[in-house]
Amino acid sequence: MLDTPGPTSINLREEFDAVGIAEVFKELDRDLVGLKPVKTRIREIASLLLIERVRKKLELATEPPTLHMSFTGSPGTGKTTVALRMAGILHKLGFVRRGHLVSVTRDDLVGQYIGHTAPKTKEILKKAMGGVLFIDEAYYLYRPENERDYGQESIEILLQIMETQRDDLVVILAGYEDRMEKFFQSNPGFRSRIAHHVDFPDYDDAELLTIAELMLQEQNYAFDAAARAAFIHYIQLRRSRPLFSNARSIRNALDRVRLRQANRLVGNLDRDLTRDDVTRIAAEDILASRLFAETPTPAASRDA
């Protein structure tokens, strides 16, 4: 019996709609403010994989593309969120079986004594198989200054799996750009296995304000006009201080703003509260931050 010939053409629109990655793109735009170059790069990767899927259906010879990635940028720029959406794209396009994300740091992979690291690393890899393994601050795996450090053992296991199981696991390494570059220089095996390098820029002031307003909206809060102006000033001051972590610092600041609002309201128990009272953030809730009272100094280290 002769083999049935494969299709001679594939409708690209039908293929795109069938896999459902458009919804993932919508989620990416909804969940993350700005980051246009990151979103563009993710769409480029998705386009490559969509064409690989079409080529396979057209029975063109191909080998699985290398999909391991490096995400570089400051904390709070959305790297973990994008990794989660990337896992969804890879799953919908058929490049991973399950599409889940396992997020880890050095402590999850490296043991503290002989014989502990290999089981820890292999257990994490077992959980991540069929999906994406996201290693945050990956450069901490390598500590050459410590002769008794076991990170190198974890690295060797990871490199082996990244090569032999690349059709069943995608590894994303993340961290500061300069430290990741030194890490790759010290561990060329990783660089040779990374196909896609994505840089996450810091948010500007306007984007941080939009992020703050979206976060408040999700929790049924809103700035009044004076509070909005005060928070714009807060962003300018906070960005100049050490340990600023983009959206993460904004979230922490809003937690403290809500705390001050609650204390302000409870300060007068003999009143009826309206919806406006409990949802409105006032300027005084922001201006009470010690950031407005302190003179910024290089030695300052705590989030205000």
- What average pLDDT does the segment 242-266 reach? 94
* Among candidate residues 220, 245, 234, the one with its CA nearest the CA of residue 283: 234
Spatial distance between the Cα atoms of 87 and 118, rounded to a whole number of angstroms: 25
The CATH number of the domain covering residues in 12-200: 3.40.50.300
Contacts of 130 (CB under 8 A, 6+ apart): 96, 97, 98, 99, 100, 168, 169
Spatial distance between the Cα atoms of 19 and 91, rounded to a whole number of angstroms: 9
pLDDT at 304: 52
- What average pLDDT does the segment 116-128 reach? 93
Please report, for the chain, the start and end positions of each structural domain, with discontinuous segments joined by +: 12-200, 205-292
DSSP string computed for 32-51: -SS-HHHHHHHHHHHHHHHH
pTM: 0.84
Greatest mean pLDDT among 8-22, 85-99, 145-159: 85-99
Q: In angstroms, what CA-CA distances link 164 with 36, 51, 126, 193, 265?
A: 34, 24, 14, 11, 60
Euclidean distance between the first and final Cα of the chain, in Å?
Answer: 75
Determine whether 87 is exposed, middle or buried from the number of CB atoms within 10 Å of its CB (0-12, 13-18, 19+): buried
221-241 pLDDT tens trace: 999 999 999 999 999 999 888
39-86 pLDDT tens trace: 999 999 999 988 888 888 888 877 778 899 999 999 999 999 999 999
Confidence bin at 210 (pLDDT 50/70/90): very high
Q: Is 93 helix (H, G, I), strand (E, B) or coil?
A: coil
Find tokens 């880890």 and name the residue. 104
Q: Provide the sign of the torsion angle of the four alpha carbons 73, 78, 81, 82, taken in this order.
A: negative
Confidence bin at 202 (pLDDT 50/70/90): very high
pLDDT at 297: 45
The larger pLDDT score, comparing residue 16 to residue 297, is at 16
* Least confidently predicted of 93-97, 122-126, 214-218, 275-279: 93-97
The CATH number of the domain covering residues in 205-292: 1.10.8.60
Residue 102 has pLDDT above 90, yes or no: yes
Residue 155 has pLDDT above 70, yes or no: yes
* Among candidate residues 113, 34, 47, 45, the one with its CA nearest the CA of residue 81: 34
